[in-house]
Amino acid sequence: MPFKAFNKVHPNTDKHLTFLGKNKRSQSALEYMMTYGWAILIIVIVAVVLYSMGIFSPSSFLSFSGI
């Protein structure tokens, strides 16, 4: 088991503090990626819905009035 040796380390040693620092940075990076991941996913879903409604087709921008 890889954490047996970790349990014997005194909490005030550098090894313990290094482990906690890496854990905090990993958690921050994961939260950053999840936040922007959800934002990008919502943007993609909105773009797909607008495309399926025909918002991006050129014919929706052109009007044929016989003046």
pLDDT at residue 38, as a whole number: 95
What local confidence, expressed as pLDDT, does residue 19 receive?
58
Is residue 43 one of the residues assigned to a domain? yes
- According to the model, what pLDDT value does residue 22 have? 74
Mean pLDDT by runs of 10 across the 67 residues of the chain is 54 55 85 94 97 83 63
- Give the pLDDT score at 6: 54
Predicted confidence at residue 23, as pLDDT, reads 84
Does some domain include residue 60?
Answer: no
Residue 45 lies in a domain: yes
Domain with 33 in it? 24-49
Dist. CA 46–CA 39, nearest whole Å: 11
Domain count of the fold of the chain: 1
pTM: 0.52
Task: Quickly count: other Cβ atoms within 10 Å of residue 47's Cβ.
Answer: 12
